Structure 1
Amino acid sequence: MRISIPTIPYAAKPTIPNVTLPEAIKRLTDFLRSGATTVLTGAGVSVDSGIKAYRGHDGRYMNRNFQPIFYHELIDETEKGHSFRKRYWLRSYLGYPPVKNATPNVSHFSLAALQHASVVPNIITQNVDGLHHKALQQIAPHKWNPAHARDAILELHGTLHRVRCNKGHTIGRDLFQDFLSAANPKWHAYAQELMMSGTRPISNPDGDVAIEHLGISYNDFHVPDCPTCLLENRRNPIHKPEVIFFGEAIPQNVKERSFREVERCDQLLLIGTTLATYSAFRLVKHALELKKPVMLLNIGPTRVDGMQEIQKLNIASGIVLREVAKEIMFASLSLSQSGNQI
């Protein structure tokens, strides 16, 4: 089986010029005011929360030796698959706490404010960190309970915060981390030492950290059995987070919902994504087929560079979105107050 890691085609493309901050604010504000907008976000949105993006400003992987574990490797029931799971879960065990403890940044809060004001009815995110949900629930916890937030935010590539065994049993990630700690007291002590020292492993967007440079072996890491399978008198250590791995298909219901979100909106806004994965790129293609306006806010090369139908703002989202949200929210408030005075 041959599965490739998504990359950006590097054919000769025109360089997208930088825009000034005032110009970017005006163009994005005008775009959002022109209709109901579905927003598609990528790893770049979470960088300011301390979660490292896969790619740098040149569009290439920052870790040139990036070697992800593929879906078929993680669920392999042979001894080889067992070794892959040891590697994955040790790295993820150490890398998950920084993702769990990450806090939303200005981009998340700005989008949450626009979503709360119904300017952005829906967000589709490629991120698995849950930070869009955190921001929305912090802005208005009584309105945006977890179920309501899930209706407004589609996690295209799943979430790190739940774990599922290959028999379909699901548990929360925090509880699974406790199981991993209990099964690996040495590694639990190591993780506690990292926390006490203030050392924070640099996590990839999927919660994975590179630890090979520390001379660490995966051989003594134990992956526990699924507790529900044990109750059914069956041992089963084959788990994966509810994240879409390389080589794994997106569930049909998620795919269909992503297309519906594009079809229901007036326009599509892309933020912090290179669109290297086809699951995201096909949504852009669908929007263009439907003749919907598309704007991209991102620094560096993307898969859609050179497509004349797409407006691109080559600027970081964090310095633009707050000002755009403030301008739109202030204008809406002023209009509301004027209406009340008539």
Structure 2
Amino acid sequence: MRVSVPTIPDAVLRNAQQQKVTVTHAFAVDRIARFLARGNAAVITGAGVSVDSGIRAYRGHKGSYLNPNYKPIFYHELMEPNARGAGFRQRYWLRSYLGYPPVRDAQPNPTHFALAALQHSSVTPHIITQNVDGLHHKAISDIWDAQRRKEGILELHGTLHRVKCSHGHEMERQKFQDMLGEANPQWKAFMEELERTNSRPRTNPDGDVVLPAGTRYDQFIVPECPSCLLENRRNSMIKPEVIFFGESIPSEVRDRSFDIVDQHDRLFVIGTTLATFSAFRLVKHAIQQHKPVLVLNVGPTRARELAVVETIEIPAGAVLRDVVKQVLGSAAEKNRTIAQMLESGVVRPPPDDYDDPIPRPTGL
């Protein structure tokens, strides 16, 4: 399956505004806690979960794109083996070079830690995330090793923290980030000045930034894959391990996402509009398997197309800590690890602005 540009039907957006129901904190906590109390729930998360960590969501509370000039770069454009593809890669990697550090340095927020507490307690054994920021891993990394995190967290759309060339050679993103800086000393100096003055340009949800009109992308150097060079091959066709629009989700990832839904008794969906079909089809699959589905999100979601899906509209960060306390009872206080998780997390949402005049290339 190839990932297409996500959309929410206009009828859903209109109806969501007309049918919006305000719920109290107490009602939301009690309803979610009762939904999770039996355990064995799978979780799907989206961009809304990471907003409190300073990473922008794609859509605002009304369901429309926060960037009105949204213009994604497609997989085939980024990986074209010609001058046109090289131009797309120069544009992508310059913006991503400047935008990656805020994503790399972002810290989990209370929602990430609350979900980590539920996962560590085996209430929600598996998380399927559409996010590419790695914050679910960070939230539980002190108590779960890399192998256990890999088993418990499925990154449906990949990760920004690794890159791969067109011949399959992988490397850590920070290594490639350093290579980009060495190849483009003027941009390295520019980024260091931004960091020194704490004046980063606007960062978008996938780790790139807004740059002024007239920026010379054609002068940015994209380094060649060092592993390819060792094989006497020159190759600068490198991309992050993120699923771009028009790119297929690997079959093993797709199959595992369905297996996770099949293995659990219910599905809890948090912080996503479900506009991307790769996540929406998992909700539909759960319904076909007669599994209860509960959606926690602020704003419209495609789940409203499905009459059997229950939706609660309230910020996850406002309720999930209390949900964990109600589900786990006294263990939430007596278990030192869980108690510490429920006291952890940053709350640093990005500025509430919508002033990106420049269409931007992006992956998911």
TM-score by length of 2: 0.88
Query: 1:326 Cα deviation (Å)?
Result: 2.0
Correspondence 1:308 to 2:310: no
Count how many residue pairs are aligned between Structure 1 and Structure 2: 330
Correspondence 1:26 to 2:30: yes
SS at 1:53's partner residue?
Answer: coil
Query: 1:242 Cα deviation (Å)?
Result: 0.2
In 2, Cα distance between equivalents of 1:98 and 1:318: 21
In structure 2, give the amino acid aligned to 1:198: N
Output the aligned Cα RMSD.
Answer: 1.7
SS at 2:15's partner residue?
Answer: coil
Correspondence 1:5 to 2:5: yes
Asked if 2 retains the 8 angstrom alpha-carbon contact of 1:17 and 1:314, the reply is: yes
In the TM superposition, 1:79-158 aligns within 5 A as 79-138=83-142, 140=143, 144-158=144-158
Which residue pairs with 2:251 in the alignment?
252
In 2, Cα distance between equivalents of 1:120 and 1:4: 29
Instruction: Classify 1:147/1:321 alpha carbon distance in 2 versus 1 (closer, same or farther; 3 Å).
Output: same
Asked if 1 retains the 8 angstrom alpha-carbon contact of 2:99 and 2:203, the reply is: yes
- Report percent identity of matched pairs: 56
TM-score by length of 1: 0.93
Instruction: Classify 1:69/1:212 alpha carbon distance in 2 versus 1 (closer, same or farther; 3 Å).
Output: farther
Instruction: Classify 1:229/1:331 alpha carbon distance in 2 versus 1 (closer, same or farther; 3 Å).
Output: same
Asked if 1 retains the 8 angstrom alpha-carbon contact of 2:50 and 2:109, the reply is: yes
In 2, Cα distance between equivalents of 1:83 and 1:239: 13
In structure 2, give the amino acid aligned to 1:127: N
Correspondence 1:16 to 2:20: yes
Residues 164-214 of structure 1, C-alpha deviations (whole Å, 9 max, x = no match): 00000000000000100010000000010000001133322211212134x
Which residue pairs with 2:48 in the alignment?
44
Asked if 1 retains the 8 angstrom alpha-carbon contact of 2:4 and 2:276, the reply is: no
Asked if 2 retains the 8 angstrom alpha-carbon contact of 1:274 and 1:298, the reply is: yes
Query: 1:308 Cα deviation (Å)?
Result: 2.1
SS at 2:217's partner residue?
Answer: coil
Structure 2: tracts of 5 or more residues without a match:
336-364
Asked if 2 retains the 8 angstrom alpha-carbon contact of 1:270 and 1:297, the reply is: yes
Asked if 1 retains the 8 angstrom alpha-carbon contact of 2:202 and 2:209, the reply is: yes
Asked if 2 retains the 8 angstrom alpha-carbon contact of 1:73 and 1:81, the reply is: yes
Asked if 2 retains the 8 angstrom alpha-carbon contact of 1:16 and 1:312, the reply is: no
In 1, Cα distance between equivalents of 2:278 and 2:284: 10
Residues 228-277 of structure 1, C-alpha deviations (whole Å, 9 max, x = no match): 00011111000000000001010000000000000000000000000001
Return the structure number with greater relative CO, CA threshold 8 A, min gap 6.
2
In structure 1, give the amino acid aligned to 2:103: V
SS at 1:118's partner residue?
Answer: coil
SS at 1:273's partner residue?
Answer: coil
In structure 1, give the amino acid aligned to 2:232: N
In structure 2, give the amino acid aligned to 1:82: A
Which residue pairs with 1:168 in the alignment?
168
Which residue pairs with 2:205 in the alignment?
205
Correspondence 1:269 to 2:268: yes
In 1, Cα distance between equivalents of 2:139 and 2:201: 23
Asked if 2 retains the 8 angstrom alpha-carbon contact of 1:50 and 1:102, the reply is: yes
Which residue pairs with 1:279 in the alignment?
278
Which residue pairs with 1:191 in the alignment?
191
Which residue pairs with 1:339 in the alignment?
none
